Amino acid sequence: MSTYRHQTIERSVKEFRNGTSVVARLETHIARADDPDGQGSIIYTQRHDKSARNAAAASDLRYAAQAPLSSLDGITFSIKDMFDILGTPMTLGLPSRRTSAIATRDAAVIRLLRDAGAIITGTTNMTPFVLSCLGVNIHLGTPLSPWQRDQQHITGGSSSGAAASVSDGMAVAAIATDTGGSARIPAAFCGLVGFKPSQGRVADEGCFPISRSLDSIGSIAQTVSCCAAIDRVIASPLTDTETDFRSLDIAVADTFLVDDLDPVIAESFQETIRRIAAAGATLRAVSVPLGETMRRIGELGGLSAVEAWQTHAELAKTLDKHCDPRVLGRYLAAEKVSAKDYETMLDLHRQMVRWANEESSWDILIHPTCSILPPRLADMAVDANYFAANGKIYRNAVIANLTDCCAITIPCPAHNNAPVGLTLMARKNQDGLLLSVARQLENIIRGE
């Protein structure tokens, strides 16, 4: 896969300290976004070139004075277009919202990034109005995975442009949301690392809410260390210290999380497990008894769709022809879900949370991030293919949200350089432990 492995955060900062110009580095990102043969016009919904250049010039002055603001000073970030950014509208991937209300202040996460010296390059494309994990946008165009680009495979979503901006070298990192894998799925499909922190660790002020039960704000970048560096700036402090992965109980998911895998993913998963075991990890198979519970939640209407409808019913009713009917239909169908069924879904959600956070004994749970490889965009024009792919891609990634855990996806080697991700999951607020283990295992998993 031809993911553009341009710069990690750590390497970039080292180069800036040694005299590399932040402005010059930014210009390489802008040039890639401007390339007529590239995806810049589809990846970005709004470009912030002028303010980014000003921020880069200020960063250069700080490095010259040997006084950078943080480990993110001079690092370029794209932002999923569902955060408030001062002076711009939030489009949610919809052209009709380009004339919506202008934000009067930055979202909390944007303020933290700016205060750290990070550079905001613009806002990125996404599934319109959020509710799909495919990243298909029939209005603005659909960003593509770098894998076999000529065959036009989707990035997944809903944070499609976020992942593509990093894989195509238009930003070093991206801020995304994750309600059911929305950061981790496109990261996996683009050969990147995607991190979903425990819910509530990143302030959601100024972020468009979808599901109060499942929402999280995370990051997409080249490495685990990149995501950890971002987390230190935008999230509440970690409580866990470094822990040797060989001393932990690492569970390998059995049952439905490994059912019906694409053969390439199945082979990559088994090889990755072999490598982790050979490195000294203590592994054991664990049955994950949540498949029927998840199926029941889906039958009742889906927790994210119902809570999104509760919050955005009036907006949904005004969109009509301005939104992909396959996405808008999920909102409108949620109107018919009874209060009793919603309470049943909440109870099922609580059962899943108890299983993962109280009843299970593992420290880390691992499983394939997605059960299939990125489908071709052309195939998603057929509704039956669209909904079938959405269910298959969503199945594994949503576990971390429904169990209220933290999770990270790391690329694994696979046949024909196919984008295969391995998910590591830890209990709620065990983010420090998760990042520690993920950093230690990353090169083992990648085979580097």
Vertex 154, ends 38 and 444: CA angle to 5°?
A: 95
80 included as an active-site residue: yes
Residue 21 is which amino acid?
Answer: S
How is residue 82 annotated by DSSP? T
Alpha helices in 71-119 (DSSP H): 108-115
The per-residue b/e assignment along 171-206, b for 16 or more CB within 10 angstroms, e otherwise, is: bbbbbbbbbbbbbbbbbbbbbbbbbbbbbebbbbeb
Residue located via tokens 């750290």: 116
Give residues with Cβ within 8 angstroms of 312, minimum separation 6: 331
Instruction: With H, G, I as helix, E, B as strand and everything else as coil, classify residue 189.
Output: helix
Residue 270 is which amino acid?
Answer: Q
Locate the DSSP E strands across 150-216.
Answer: 173-177, 193-196
Closest CA to 286 of 355, 198, 370, 185: 355
Instruction: With H, G, I as helix, E, B as strand and everything else as coil, classify residue 249.
Output: strand
Alpha helices in 18-93 (DSSP H): 22-34, 40-43, 49-64
List 59, 145, 158, 371, catalytic entry: 158
Peptide bond into 158 cis (omega under 30): yes
Give residues with Cβ within 8 angstroms of 61, minimum separation 6: none
List 12, 80, 196, 211, catalytic entry: 80
- Report yes or no: 59 and 120 within 8 Å, Cβ to Cβ: no
41 included as an active-site residue: no
50 included as an active-site residue: no
Closest CA to 85 of 116, 124, 54, 42: 124
Q: What are phi and psi of 282, to 5 degrees?
A: -90, 110
List 145, 159, 165, 182, catalytic entry: 182
Q: CB atoms < 10 A from the CB of 430, how many?
A: 21
Closest CA to 13 of 74, 66, 62: 74
How is residue 373 annotated by DSSP? P
Going 197 to 203 to 204 to 207, the CA torsion angle's sign is negative
Show which residues are catalytic.
80, 158, 182
